Structure 1
Amino acid sequence: MTSATARSLHATAEPDVSRRLLESSATLSYDPATEIDWAAPLPEGQYGLNPEWSTLYGTPLWDEMTEEQRVTLTRHEVCSIMSTGIWFEMILQQMILRDQYVKDPANPEFQFALTEIADECRHSIMFARICEKMGVPAYFPHRFIVEAARLFKSVAGGEVAYGGTLVAEEVLDVMQRDWMRGENVLDIVRTSSRIHVVEESRHMKFARQEIREHMAGVSTLRRRHSAALIAAAASVIVRSLVNHGVYRAAGLDTERAVAAAANNEHRKSMMRNACAGLMEFLSEAGLLTRSATAIYQRVDMI
């Protein structure tokens, strides 16, 4: 297949995919303001996320912790993940707006892009309210990462922008599919996870289609460059999910907890399993190069 033919096929497929996603959004979307019982008290013994997803689960330190410490830790961990999600969703919204700048408003792609931004705004408010409800402070990535992200969101475009978006969405999606079924997980987290899973599934389909479109007929040099940038963004996102401050909040020795989490083989296995589908797609799209694979291995995504 020639590059011209590939571009023609993608140009035809794109409006169809976006149109179907718009129809899905119109029939299956949620309003967190009414779907979640914000007035309900938080049961004392319920976790913020499935214990198996805690960074310390499966370590000797986890065995030493009291049940109260485990509950506190998981609540701070889920709020740290949500805070990171808000941070990246704000980056995502700016990249999508830049990508859709002065494009045809009648195009279904343009309309779904704005629909996705509206979804992300609701998700960010939902996450913010959950953290407030739990009484957990906002956790942010390291200052250097925050400043570097200003540059990334200003220059990243095409497959790099949508690739970084897909990474964040795919990893969180796998986690939340477990959280929404967790019988010992707070109902507020279970419900928000269900909302996020349903609506983010459309965002992931959109991101995948955009990546396919942008990758059609690209040069080898661009493919390698984009693969490395997406992997670098993925590494930053994964490393930023759980702030080290969560261990201090649970009354743990931060240095020891950070070391235990870094060497936690159970956690590494969970991350690799969570990223399996993502890696398969990146490989199909030509974005799993040798250098990119090395970066993913360093953060246990492959």
Structure 2
Amino acid sequence: MSELSRDEVSNRLLKGSVKRSYIPVVDIDWEAPLDEDKFFVAPKTLSLYGTDLWLRMDRRQRIELSRQEFVNMLSTAIWFENIVNQGLLRHVMHTDPRSSETHYSLTELGDETRHMVMFGKAIKRVGAKPVRVPLAQRVVLNMIPLFLRGSGLWLFALLGEDITDELQRQMAEDPEIQPLVQRVLRVHIIEEARHISFARDGIRKRVAAMPRWRRVVLANVLGLHGIVNQQAFTNPVVYRRIGLPDPKAAQRAAMANENFRLVQRRCFAGMAEFFEEVGLMGRLSKAIWKKIGYLD
């Protein structure tokens, strides 16, 4: 069976979008009450789960940790999807407006915009403040869309979507999770599955036609994303907000936490397999992923 063309893949995804898409503003009951005894993130996926700090917390403190980690995850996602949208807009400036690839790129842009609204409403509903990105990082983040072209755009999209998607799948059916959070996760999982398929297809086709030197460079710098991702998911702001006296020490405890590293490995497994498949798992990147706990 021959490989589908980019337009054929895009057409399939467009049909999926017609059959199953959401408008979170109306498809989620934002007035539904929160359960004071339920978590916002599955306990076993929390960064401090099982550590000495965790064992010293009572249930109320653990739930508050989950609230703040949930808000940190959504705040990071808003920034990420903002950057992806800017990249998609720049991408379609240079593509054929008649093509299905352009049409699906615009469809994904609409999905991501609605997700940003959904995440903002969820942060407000759970009664927390968003986690702000420091000014210096905002300057850098604002420059990233200028460089998101070709394989870079699809790689950036995949790196931000794939690991988070797997984490959400681990949490979505957990009976200890707030029903509102479960609904947000399910909407995001369904629509992100199409975005991940689109990004992977774009990467496969571009890597196959890429000069060997460029593929080698990409394969050996992708591991740097793991460091950024780990820092984002162990943000000291979270630990300061729940009242821990030394947020930096809590971050170090989270990074060394074998329970959390197991969660990371499970979340990264699918992407690691994909990188191996397309020849983008370089030796340097593999060493970085292993060092931070994403690979055995």
Shared fold (TM-score, shorter chain, > 0.5): yes
Partner of 2:166: 174
Partner of 2:215: 223
Q: 1:88, CA displacement in angstroms? A: 0.5
In the alignment, which of 236, 242, 254 is matched to residue 261 of structure 1?
Answer: 254
Partner of 2:272: 279
Q: Which AA in structure 1 matches 2:262? A: S
Partner of 1:5: none
Deviations 1:181-232 (A, max 9, x none): 0111111110010000000000000000110121122122101222234332
Partner of 1:80: 72
Superposition TM-score, scaled by structure 1 size: 0.92
Equivalent residues, number = 294
8 Å contact from structure 1 (residues 231, 296) kept in 2: yes
Could you tell me how far apart the structure 2 residues matched to 1:110 and 1:78 are? 33
Could you tell me how far apart the structure 2 residues matched to 1:278 and 1:255 are? 29
Range that drifts further, 216-225 or 268-277? 216-225
Question: What percentage of aligned pairs have identical amino acids?
Answer: 33
The verdict on how the C-alpha distance between 1:13 and 1:65 changes in structure 2, with shifts beyond 3 A counting, is same
8 Å contact from structure 1 (residues 83, 127) kept in 2: yes
Partner of 1:296: 289
Alignment of 1:53-202 (within 5 A): 53-202=45-194
Q: Report the RMSD for the aligned CA atoms in angstroms.
A: 1.8
Q: 1:124, CA displacement in angstroms? A: 0.7
Displacement over 6 Å in runs of 4+: none
Deviations 1:220-259 (A, max 9, x none): 2101222234332343234213421111221222233222
Could you tell me how far apart the structure 2 residues matched to 1:234 and 1:143 are? 22
8 Å contact from structure 1 (residues 159, 226) kept in 2: no
Q: 1:149, CA displacement in angstroms? A: 2.4
Partner of 1:235: 227
Give the gaps of 5 or more residues in structure 2.
none
Q: 1:105, CA displacement in angstroms? A: 1.3
Q: 1:151, CA displacement in angstroms? A: 2.7
Could you tell me how far apart the structure 2 residues matched to 1:139 and 1:96 are? 25
Could you tell me how far apart the structure 2 residues matched to 1:257 and 1:164 are? 29
Could you tell me how far apart the structure 2 residues matched to 1:77 and 1:98 are? 32
Superposition TM-score, scaled by structure 2 size: 0.94
Partner of 1:4: none
Range that drifts further, 118-127 or 237-246? 237-246
The verdict on how the C-alpha distance between 1:242 and 1:127 changes in structure 2, with shifts beyond 3 A counting, is farther
In the alignment, which of 27, 32, 40 is matched to residue 35 of structure 1?
Answer: 27
Could you tell me how far apart the structure 2 residues matched to 1:299 and 1:152 are? 24
The verdict on how the C-alpha distance between 1:255 and 1:144 changes in structure 2, with shifts beyond 3 A counting, is same
